Amino acid sequence: MYHFNILYFDGKLSVTHQAILHLKPDHWIIQFTDQDSIEQIVRWEIDGIERDLGFNSLYIFRYGDFPKQTIECKDENLLVALKELYPGKPFFSKQINFLLSQNTTIITGLACALVGFIALAYFYILPWFAETVAENIPVSIETQMGETMYDNIITQYHKNDSLTRSVNDFVKEINFKTDYPVEVTVVKEDQMNAFALPGGHIVVFDKLLSKMKTKEELAALLAHEVAHVHYRHSLKSIFRSLSGYLLISLIFNDVNGIAAVLADNSNMLLNLSYSRKLEQDADEKAVEILQVNNLSLKGFADLFTLLKSESNDSKTLNLLSTHPLTDNRIKYAKDAAFHQRVVRNNDKLEEKWREIADQFK
């Protein structure tokens, strides 16, 4: 038996009719008595029938041009009958809800696809978005964020004011080819380390300074760290790590919230490990800076050699872990030095270097 009790709407009047639906091989018959007690017969062709999605316990079908006719049925046997009579009919096969209710494989597949999309978004799309945001933040805002992070970090160290003044005098004699305001802080630490903050702050440990022999080594170190600032490597890395928090702050246009998140996580700067690509970019920028200033690139190779020679010192590992020192990087520095053609002595820079070196005697 393929007869079902339904409600029928003709689409023209707001009158509901109690009706009987008769399922035929190629059409449906809707039989009801109208308000004038006249029996009516309505025919629906199978190919023109559409099922309304979004209902689990109420089955709604529509037919015809606007305004469409509609029938409603609560009898679950209707779906069973439809499946038996019209297994290949378009209106039946396209019913996503019906399929979902019948096929657990589809449900499982869709669930896996959703989980996969969420994982893709979390591990790739969101970090990419965060890095893109970091790349497009105005320098003034980046500098403000860097100041906040610097204020939070520097309280952990004992600042060497004399060396800080001398190194910043040294900095003024070098064209770093960047619009960022470079500001160096030297701190007293029995480790060989240096790191750059967003916006222009660079922190150098005095242990590393004490091991240097020439102004070119210091210039190379600063040029490398300035390159990280110039390319926003630290800002991008932090944004990638904190992309979830930062996205929420951006959605609510909460710039102060972003600054607060960065400040709370500023210690991440101490343990940042850049990729080989980023280190290569920083090395190439550093070579460019040294060449523009006619400083010997041998200092760059000497700096790497110094770090390599101290690599057995566990305290040096901190710097090497934040700046992975590969043999290829050392070779790159030596090759660059070998092919350098123009080197000029800079007496003023040498004087500033002597002021620094003398403080370790």
Reported as a single tens digit per residue, the pLDDT across 129-150 is 777 777 777 888 888 888 988 9
CA–CA distance, 216 with 183 (Å, rounded to integer): 18
Which pLDDT belongs to residue 209? 95
Q: pTM for the whole thing?
A: 0.62
Using omega within 30 degrees of 0 as the cis cutoff, is the peptide bond preceding 198 cis? Answer: no
Which pLDDT belongs to residue 110? 77
First-to-last alpha carbon distance for the chain, in angstroms, is 105
What one-character-per-residue DSSP string does 127-161 give? HHHHHHHHHHS-HHHHHHHHHHHHHHHHTTS-B-H
Residue 93 in tokens = 């096969």
Q: 3-state secondary structure string, 284-309?
A: HHHHHHHHHCCCCCHHHHHHHHHHHH
Which pLDDT belongs to residue 274? 75
Which pLDDT belongs to residue 269? 66
Intervals of the chain under pLDDT 50: 93-96, 100
Which pLDDT belongs to residue 94? 47
Which pLDDT belongs to residue 219? 96
Nearest in space to 200 (alpha carbons), one of 160, 157, 239, 231: 231
